[in-house]
Amino acid sequence: MTDRRLTRLLAREMAHGLRAGEFSARELVEAHLDLVHATDRGLHAWLFLDEEAARAAADLADARLADARREGSAALDALPLLLGVPLGLKDLVVTRGQTSTAGSRILEGFVGPFDATIAARIREAGAVVLGKTNMDEFAMGSSTEHSAWGPTANPWNLGRVPGGSSGGSAAAVAAYQVPLAIGTDTGGSIRQPAALCGVAGIKPTYGRVSRYGIVAFASSLDQVGPLARDARDLAALLQVIAGRDVRDSTSSPVPVPDYLASLPEGDDEAAAALRGLRLGLPREYFGAGMEPGVEARVREAAAALESAGAEIVDVSLPHTEYGLATYYLIAPAEASANLARYDGIRFGHSSRQGDVLANYLATRGTGFGPEVKRRIVLGTYALSAGYYDAYYVKAQKARTLIKADFDAAFERVDALVAPTSPTVAFPLGARTQDPVAMYLSDTCTLPVNVAGLPGLSVPCGLSDGLPVGLQIIGPAWDEAGILRIARAYEAITADAGWRRLDPADLPALDDPKTPAPGLPAGTAV
pLDDT tens per residue across span 52-83: 999 999 999 999 999 999 999 999 999 999 99
Is residue 350 very low, low, confident or very high in pLDDT (cuts 50, 70, 90)? confident
At 351, the pLDDT band (50, 70, 90 cuts) reads confident
What pLDDT is recorded for position 519?
Answer: 55
pLDDT in tens, 357-391: 888 888 899 999 999 999 999 999 999 988 999 99
Position 408 pLDDT exceeds 90? yes
User: Quick check: is 373 catalytic?
Assistant: no
pLDDT, tens digit, for every residue of 202-239?
999 999 999 999 999 999 999 999 999 999 999 999 99
Task: Identify the weakest region by mean pLDDT among 54-58, 120-124, 300-304, 352-356.
Answer: 352-356
> Among the residues of 419-510, which ranges form H helices?
435-439, 446-451, 479-492, 506-509
- Taking only the tens place, the pLDDT of each residue in 41-54 is 999 999 999 999 99
Residue-level pLDDT at 430: 95
Strands (E), 1-122: 46-49, 86-90
The helix/strand/coil state of 423 is coil
Question: What number is the average pLDDT over the span 20-25?
Answer: 97
| Catalytic residue of the set 143, 166, 189, 350 | 189
Which pLDDT score is estimated for 355? 84
- In whole angstroms, give the CA distance from residue 270 to residue 231: 11
Question: How much is the pLDDT for 521?
Answer: 47
Residue 2: which pLDDT band, with cuts at 50, 70 and 90? low
Residue 90 bears catalytic tag = yes
Is residue 343 pLDDT above 60, yes or no? yes
Is 50 exceeded by the pLDDT of residue 524?
A: no
Residue 352 has pLDDT above 90, yes or no: no
Catalytic residue among 24, 142, 147, 165: 165
**Structural domains in the chain, sorted by start:** 27-322+399-509 (3.90.1300.10)
Is the distance from CB of 461 to CB of 301 less than 8 angstroms? yes
Dump strand ranges (E) for 41-85: 46-49
Catalytic pick from 24, 90, 132, 252?
90
For residue 465, which of 297, 305, 299, 230 has the smallest C-alpha distance? Answer: 297
User: What average pLDDT score do residues 163-179 get?
Assistant: 98
In the sheet that holds 311-315, the strands lie side by side as 46-49, 128-133, 86-90, 180-184, 224-228, 200-203, 455-463, 466-473, 415-419, 278-282, 311-315
